[in-house]
């Protein structure tokens, strides 16, 4: 799970994926890198929104205090992030379930002086599902993300658009990006386990395509 930007809705989409796929096959969530942990804990939020059991959540990885790019947050915390440190955690994860792995920011967000989120995605050998805004600017951001994933030979699972429905932007992303928009997620007036559960049920057929 990656996105075209930060604050794009990856955590909500991750919650929807867990809630919709768990009835189809065993599912679990992992956030390898989290910055601003004192203000934003995406793992705790997915646990809450998707009503995850202990077996559906892995809370391990890099946890940093400042809400900044991972490389800078790590530097200010006096440590570094290495992709092989994270892939070592991934190697220990149970293999009997579908993993929703949420990235930090977009695919070219630096993790250190040499590696980006795209390098981690490539090492994990998982297809990338892109969360994108539905509004103005999303065509460019989404097509750039798709192009970089393809340049690195990273498989693409599709796109999920978040926000007010925009048929023209969806059509452009599918046509020019050569990929499917799997689902469109509206803004929720009340973001809680009930609203996420209801929406996941309504989008189950679309979202389960990533786990087929």
For the chain, which residues make up each domain, given as ranges? 2-211
* 3-state SS assignment for residue 55: helix
Q: pLDDT for 123-175, tens place per residue?
A: 999 999 999 999 999 999 999 999 999 999 999 999 999 999 999 999 999 99
Q: Confirm if 211 and 127 have CB atoms less than 8 A apart.
A: no
Q: pLDDT for 167-203, tens place per residue?
A: 999 999 999 999 999 999 999 989 999 999 999 999 9
CATH number assigned to the domain covering 2-211: 3.40.50.300
Residues labelled catalytic: 31
Q: Summarize the confidence of residues 106-113 as an average pLDDT.
A: 96
Cα–Cα distance, 193 to 65 (Å, whole number): 26
The angle formed by the CA atoms of residues 12, 116 and 182, to the nearest 5 degrees, is 35
Dihedral over alpha carbons 12, 102, 169, 186 (to 10 degrees): -10
pTM of the model as a whole: 0.95
């Amino acid at each position: 799970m990656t996105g075209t930007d930060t604050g794009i809705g990856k955590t909500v989409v991750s919650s929807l994926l867990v809630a919709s796929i768990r009835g189809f096959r065993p599912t679990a969530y992992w956030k390898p890198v989290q910055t601003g942990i004192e203000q934003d804990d995406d793992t705790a939020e997915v646990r809450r929104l998707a009503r995850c059991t202990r077996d559906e959540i892995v809370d391990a990885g890099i946890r940093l205090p400042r809400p900044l790019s991972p490389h800078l947050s790590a530097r200010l915390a006096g440590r570094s992030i290495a992709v092989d440190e994270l892939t070592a955690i991934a190697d220990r994860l149970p293999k009997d379930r579908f993993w929703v792995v949420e990235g930090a920011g977009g695919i070219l967000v630096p993790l250190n002086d040499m590696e980006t989120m795209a390098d981690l995605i490539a090492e994990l050998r998982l297809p990338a599902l892109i969360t994108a805004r539905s509004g103005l600017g999303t065509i460019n951001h989404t097509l750039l993300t798709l192009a970089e994933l393809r340049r690195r030979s990273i498989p693409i699972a599709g796109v999920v658009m978040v926000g007010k429905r925009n048929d023209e932007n969806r059509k452009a992303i599918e046509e020019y990006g050569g990929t499917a928009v799997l689902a469109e997620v509206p803004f929720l007036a009340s973001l809680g386990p009930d609203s996420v559960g209801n929406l996941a049920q309504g989008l189950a057929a679309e979202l389960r395509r990533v786990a087929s």
